[in-house]
Amino acid sequence: MSKDLKEYWKKNVTFMSFLLVIWAVVSYGCGILFVKPLNAIKIGGFPLGFWFAQQGAIYVFVCLIFVYYAYMQKLDREYDVHE
């Protein structure tokens, strides 16, 4: 692999790992691990932990995929590997 491509790949993997950390935090963190303390906080009629587990985590998942798509669009062009 050329130097450029190595850099491209490294940037891709770094950004991806960052998104996966968010993925884990909203689902395993807010939705499971910290559900009890978060449930003590109320947003309208929603206990926060419950909201993350049944609504919030899913919204975040959708956003993560679109953010990754947009980032990779830019990165592909920057390193001239786009289709």
Partner 1 sequence: MSILAWTYIMVGLTFSLYIFIAWISRVRDTKGFYVAGGGVPPLANGMATAADWMSAASFISMAGLISFLGYAGSIYLMGWTGGYVLLALLLAPYLRKFGKYTVPDFVGDRYYSDTARFVALVCAIFVSLTYVCGQMRGVGIVFSRFLEVPVNTGVLIGMAIVFFYAGLGGMKGITWTQVAQYTVLITAYLIPAVFISMKIAGTPIPQIGLGSTVQTGQYTGQYLLDVLDKLNTDLGFTAYTQPGAKSMLDVFCITFALMVGTAGLPHVIIRFYTVPSVRAARLSAGYALLFIAILYTTAPAVAAFARYNMIDTINDKPYAEAPSWFKNWEKTGLIAWVDKNNDGIIQYRAGKPFIGKPKFVPGKTGPLGQKIVANKLTSSPNELYVDRDIMVLANPEIANLPNWVIALVAAGGLAAALSTASGLLLVIASSISHDLYYRMINRKATEKQRLLVGRIMIGIAVCIAGYFGINPPGFVAQVVAFAFGLAASSFFPIIVLGIFSARTNREGAICGMLAGIIFTAAYIIYFKFMGGTKDQWLLGISPEGIGTIGMIINFVVTWVVSSMTKEPPKEIQELVSSIRTPRGAGAAVDH
Give the number of residues in contact with partner 1, rule: CB under 8 A: 46
- Check binding of 65 to partner 1 (CB under 8 A): yes
Residue 52 and residue 77: Cα distance in Å, rounded?
35
CA distances from 38 to 30, 45, 68 (A): 7, 14, 28
Which residues are at the interface with partner 1 (CB under 8 A)? 1, 5, 8-9, 12-13, 16, 19-20, 23, 27-28, 31-33, 35-36, 39, 43-47, 49-51, 53-55, 57-59, 61-62, 64-66, 68-69, 72-73, 76, 79, 81-83
